[in-house]
Amino acid sequence: MMLLETEITAKGQTIVPQNIRAALQVAAGDRITWQLNRDGTATVRRIQPLDSEYLESIEESLAEEWASSADEEAYRDL
C-alpha cells in the first residue's frame, strides 16, 4: 500500500496525484464518486458515463413516483 499526502485548499480543492489518476483511469473532465465509510475512511472511484446517466434517470423516475404527500406521511418515520 502506498500513502500519498496532498493539501486541501480553502475552497476544498486538492490535487489528485498522477499515479492515483492513472490507477483510477481518470483525466480532466472525468467524474469520481466518494463513499464515506462507517470507520471514517473514504473510498473514491471513477464513474463511468453510463453510470451517471443511469443514476440520473433513476433519480428522476423515483422523484416523480414517490413525491406525493401520502408517501411522505407513510414513510416519515423510516
Q: What is the pLDDT of residues 24-37, one digit of tens each?
A: 999 999 999 999 99
Residue labelled with grid coordinates 463511468: 48
Answer whether residue 3 shows pLDDT above 80. Answer: yes
Q: How many domains does the chain have?
A: 2
Q: For the chain, percent helix, then strand, then coil, each to nearest 5?
A: 40, 15, 45
- Pair 39, 6 in one domain: yes
- Pair 41, 54 in one domain: no
- Pair 4, 37 in one domain: yes
How many whole angstroms separate alpha carbon 18 and alpha carbon 12?
A: 19
Q: What is the CATH number of the domain that holds 14?
A: 2.10.260.10
How many whole angstroms separate alpha carbon 22 and alpha carbon 4?
A: 14
Answer whether residue 13 shows pLDDT above 90. Answer: yes
Residue-wise pLDDT tens digits, 16-73: 999 999 999 999 999 999 999 999 999 999 987 766 777 777 777 776 666 677 877 8
- Pair 29, 53 in one domain: no
Give the domain range for residue 62: 48-78
